Each structure stands twice: as C-alpha cells, then as structure tokens.
Chains A and B, each alone.
Chain A
Amino acid sequence: DTGVSQDPRHKITKRGQNVTFRCDPISEHNRLYWYRQTLGQGPEFLTYFQNEAQLEKSRLLSDRFSAERPKGSFSTLEIQRTEQGDSAMYLCASSRGGSVHSSYNSPLHFGNGTRLTVT
C-alpha cells in the first residue's frame, strides 16, 4: 500500500489560466474521488469514478471543471479559466471495491492534496 499520490503539491497560477492536477490512487482501489477543501472547512465533494466511469458530479461544480480517469487508474482534474474563488486545497481519495456492503463500508484513503492559489 503505497498510498494515494497527488501532483503537484502546490500550484500558483494567474487568473484566467488553466491548471491540471494528477492523482494516483492505491492500485487495488477501483473508486476515486475528488474533493475541494478551504481553510478550516470540511471537504466538499466534487466528483467520483468507479473504474473509468464518472458516476457523479456535484451540481455545485461549474463547467470549467472537468475530470477524467481514462484507464481506470490515475485521474486528472482540470480547471479552465481559473478564478480567485478556485483557490483551495484539492484532495483526491480512493476506496476499495468488492461486495456492495463492503464497498459502502470501505473508508476513503486521502492523498496530501494539491494547494491551488489563483492570483
């Protein structure tokens, strides 16, 4: 278990630029999640994948945000035309599959996050 890996750790960009983040989940985990966290707040759900299928996307997520998991392994999260309000920590997590019950019971394993600052 090498853990969930996120790259980069920090990203500073100017307003209007596009950014892309990468997440490598734990290898045997088939579900991958993206969350956004601002200082002192709880993680806010953005989207999640089961294998390569994106099963749900938050209604709060604008169309400037897109995520992919092309081969069911790593995932990318892209933000187009960044705004200052996009500044946050972007967290990736993965969880194990299996039976339906065990899947619901499977906890999330988080990476250390990518901190985005939009100037």
Chain B
Amino acid sequence: AQSVAQPEDQVNVAEGNPLTVKCTYSVSGNPYLFWYVQYPNRGLQFLLKYITGDNLVKGSYGFEAEFNKSQTSFHLKKPSALVSDSALYFCAVRDEPGGFKTIFGAGTRLFVKA
C-alpha cells in the first residue's frame, strides 16, 4: 500500500529566505505525487504535482518541488519565502496498484517570520 511521510511537524523560516518542506513516499508502482496547501479557515488547495520525467516541477505561488527517485522524496521548495506562505502543507501520493485513492501525509506547518 502507498504511504507518505512528512518528518517535520513544523518549519520556521525568515521572510526572504529559501524554504524546504520535506516529503518521502512509499509506493508499489509508479508514484503520482502532489502537494496541497491549507490556509487558516480555508479548504485544501492543490499546489503542484509531479510530472513524469521532470525532476523539478513548478506550481502555484512560486512553489516548486524536487523529485528524487533514489531517495523516494518529493520536497517542496521556494527560493524566497513570504509571510503569506504561512500555512499547513500536505504531501499526497497515489500509485496504480492503489487505484485512484490519494493518501495524505500528516502535514507540516510552515511559519514565515517577518
């Protein structure tokens, strides 16, 4: 069965500094990987997804994610953090043996300090 781990409950970064939110996954087949963001009192929003063959994918709000097959990781990155990026971030995975079910990580809370 597919699974995803987000090893950090919380990430703190100063505004203007680069940020990384970590995600590792376990799948039986080819991975389909996603990042979602949840702002306070708002619903989950899709941020970006892995595109087969692209080890660095770009998404909304200046975010990007780096796929590493050997390390089974899909870390979320942004070159310069904004205070408005403060939110809860979830990594999610599907694999073909698992059908279209999407499994989410426990989430990482990002705090960006001005």
Contact = CB atoms under 8 A, between A and B. Distances in A.
Interface string A19-59: 00000000000010101000011111100101000011000
Interface residues of B, number: 25
Size class of A's contact patch? 20 to 34
A91 interface: yes
Contact of A55 (B88, B96, B100, B107): B100
B105 A42 contact: yes
Interface in B28-84: 32, 34, 36, 42-46, 49, 51
A109 B36 CA distance: 10
B99 A55 contact: yes
Given A42-B90, A112-B42, A56 B106 contact: no
Contacts of B106: 41-42
A104 B32 contact: yes
A110 B45 contact: yes
